Every structure is written in structure tokens, then in C-alpha cells.
């Protein structure tokens, strides 16, 4: 059986034609599952009994299973979803003034091996299917329907920064983006969707031609090849000069500002010397720097005690930067922490 949540509208139209159905049936089904949130084909009352019978033989509307939910004192929620093959992934809901943002996973495990990242402590088992990514957003949104404030019942922003490297699952992630952006789908604006990569250069260049104006974030974290080679193996394949060249090509093609993510690790990359190296590295690039407090996960790294000093130095040197508000520190909100704990129990 095929999970209906795994189809873009165009793919579903093509499938309908192959079944000798009218292509507009795809639009009808999209509206039923994404606008009216039905959980049964029998509720699709404008489809006709014969059509519904045929569709039920081919498609399923099966959901993921919520294995565990954690709620932080600051309102951040973390969900551990169990997949059909008993693997688990994590999704995080964050509440901001501008709306509800959900951080989704793209793989079961990760092969990038970044030393400070909990999601890379276990190698990739497999890529997530499109429907498994779509359902992360949809099911978290379902959990919000009892919110008193109507504005808090809908996911307004999606960040593709959870477990896994999105560009290592490129085609599925692109289809996922098209579904959640589709006006008949979840209708999340392209500029409200951010994809983060640790630096797979060929895919950055390919992504420059993707038709939607999705935000691109680069998990930079270190301002030199020496540090990046030590803590981020991807840099040995695509060193900083190659990465920065691809980013400049991306900007030339899209004119979209780049976000550089920089997790502050105590006495590793949080010195004024590192700040100066970072400023020199990104000079001339239309970007902003998102400084991230460390969520300690494996005991090897500590959160920086100099985050404000680092931020102030960048700011004083005219670098557009933010110091991310810490969220979910009391519920293991770093990518992969909850999944690892569940695996250790087993």
C-alpha cells in the first residue's frame, strides 16, 4: 500500500491518470487530508463510492505513532515518533512570537559524524520517506488543536534541522517541501521554511535551481579548516574555500541571504580569535550569523560561558547576528538526545 501523504500533488495527478481517474481527484484528496484533516477515505464525500473503493485498495492514510512526548518549562515540546519498522525519530515544536515552528528529521541516524551532535552518534540506518516527514508536521499540528489561541493551532514555520543531513536525502526532502508549501497542502510559505546543511557542496549548487524560495542555512560552527576538519568530517571532502565558493554561487543564482549557524563550544570556538577568523571568513557575503547555545549531550563538550562576549564582538564589527534564545534545555531538545536514550533502554 502507498501512503497518500508521500505524494506531491503533481505526482498524485499522474497516479490518478494511470488509474484512469481524472487528475482533479488529486486536488480533492489534498484538500480532504490537509485542509479538512480527514483520517478515512470514507469521509471524502465528493469522490464517489466507486472511486473511494479503488483508492482504498491502493492508498493508506496510516499515521506515525507518538512513542513519547516531553514538554519543557518554556513550552517547547519534543516528540519521539515510532516508524513502521520500529525505528524512532525526533521532532521538536518551538513557540515564538511570530508563530509555531517545527523542526523535523530527515533520516534515521546520520552519517555526517559531527563530533558535537547527538544525532550523529549512531550511523544512518535509512532515509526517511516523504510521508514520514510530512506526518511529523501534520501530527504535531494535530496536537495543537486544543490551544485556546487560534494562531497557535497551526504550524507556521518549518526548519529542516533535525536528525539527519537533508541533502543526503535530497529528492525526498524536495518533495516534502513541495507538499508542505502547496496551497492545497499545508500551505506553509516558502520563506517560512529553512533547510540546514553541514556543507554538501554539489547539493548546494543543485538547490540553487530549486523553484521555491526556501531559506538556506549552513552549519558552519568553526571558522578554520583545522577546527572544522577535527570536528566535522564533511570538511575534509569540502573544505572551507570550496564551501564558500558554492555559497557565493548559490547567492549569485538566487539573491537569497545565507544563514551561518555557529554553535558555541566552551574553549573550542568561542574565543575572540575565532570571532575575528569568522568575520574574515564571511566578509562580503550577504548573510547573518545565528549563534547557538550548546545543548550538552555526550559529556565531551560544554556550553560556552562567553556567548555574550562573542556576540557583542561580532555585533560591534557590523556582523548581522543573533544569539538564539535557548529552548528545551530541560527536555533533551538537542537533535538525537531523546532517541539515544530510548535506544539505550533497549
Q: Which residues are designated catalytic? A: 90, 335
User: Which three-class secondary structure state does DSSP give residue 259?
Assistant: strand
> Strands of 155-160's sheet, edge to edge?
65-71, 77-82, 88-96, 99-103, 155-160, 193-197, 215-219, 258-264, 287-293, 321-323
State the Cα–Cα distance between residues 197 and 165, nearest whole angstrom.
6
State the Cα–Cα distance between residues 137 and 268, nearest whole angstrom.
35
> Whose CA is closest to 288, among 263, 310, 307, 315?
315
Measured N-to-C along each axis, helices 170-181 and 130-142 cross at an angle, to the nearest 10 degrees, of 40
State the Cα–Cα distance between residues 128 and 175, nearest whole angstrom.
12
Counting Cα atoms < 13 Å in the Cβ hemisphere of 97 gives 1
Instruction: Sort 224 into a burial class: Cβ within 10 Å, 0-12 / 13-18 / 19+.
Output: middle
State the Cα–Cα distance between residues 132 and 5, nearest whole angstrom.
8
**C-alpha cell of 266?**
566552551
Q: How far apart are the first and last CA of the chain?
A: 30
Amino acid at each position: 500500500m502507498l501512503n497518500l501523504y508521500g505524494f506531491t500533488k503533481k505526482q498524485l495527478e499522474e497516479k490518478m491518470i494511470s488509474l484512469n481517474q481524472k487528475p482533479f481527484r488529486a486536488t480533492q484528496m489534498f484538500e480532504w487530508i490537509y485542509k479538512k484533516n480527514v483520517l478515512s477515505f470514507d469521509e471524502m464525500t465528493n469522490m464517489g463510492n466507486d472511486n473511494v473503493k479503488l483508492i482504498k485498495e491502493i492508498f493508506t492514510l496510516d499515521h506515525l505513532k507518538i512513542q513519547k512526548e516531553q514538554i519543557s518549562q518554556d513550552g517547547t515540546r519534543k516528540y519521539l515518533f515510532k516508524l513502521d519498522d520500529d525505528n524512532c525519530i525526533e521532532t521538536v515544536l518551538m513557540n515564538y512570537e511570530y508563530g509555531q515552528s517545527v523542526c523535523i528529521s530527515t533520516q534515521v541516524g546520520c552519517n555526517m559524524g559531527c563530533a558535537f551532535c547527538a544525532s550523529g552518534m549512531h550511523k544512518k540506518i535509512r532515509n526517511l520517506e516523504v510521508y514520514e516527514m510530512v506526518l511529523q508536521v501534520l501530527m504535531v499540528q494535530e496536537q495543537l488543536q486544543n490551544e485556546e489561541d487560534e494562531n497557535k493551532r497551526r504550524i507556521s514555520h518549518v526548519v529542516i534541522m533535525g536528525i539527519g543531513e537533508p541533502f543526503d536525502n535530497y529528492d525526498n526532502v524536495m518533495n516534502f517541501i513541495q507538499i508542505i508549501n502547496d496551497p492545497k497542502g499545508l500551505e506553509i510559505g516558502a520563506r517560512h521554511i529553512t533547510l540546514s546543511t553541514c556543507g554538501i557542496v554539489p547539493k548546494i549548487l543543485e538547490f540553487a535551481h530549486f523553484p521555491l524560495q526556501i531559506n538556506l542555512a549552513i552549519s558552519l560552527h568553526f571558522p578554520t579548516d583545522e577546527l572544522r576538519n577535527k570536528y566535522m568530517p564533511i570538511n575534509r571532502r569540502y573544505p572551507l574555500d570550496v564551501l564558500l565558493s558554492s555559497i557565493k554561487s548559490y547567492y549569485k543564482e538566487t539573491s537569497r541571504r545565507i544563514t551561518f549557524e555557529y554553535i558555541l563550544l566552551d574553549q573550542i570556538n568561542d574565543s575572540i580569535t575565532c570571532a575575528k577568523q569568522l568575520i574574515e571568513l564571511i566578509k562580503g557575503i550577504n548573510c547573518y550569523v545565528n549563534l547557538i547555545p550548546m545543548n550538552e549531550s555526550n559529556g565531551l563538550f560544554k556550553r560556552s560561558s562567553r556567548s555574550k562576549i562573542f556576540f557583542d564582538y561580532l555585533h560591534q564589527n557590523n556582523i548581522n547576528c543573533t544569539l538564539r534564545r535557548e529552548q528545551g534545555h530541560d527536555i533533551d531538545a538537542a537533535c538525537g538526545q531523546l532517541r539515544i536514550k530510548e535506544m539505550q533502554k533497549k
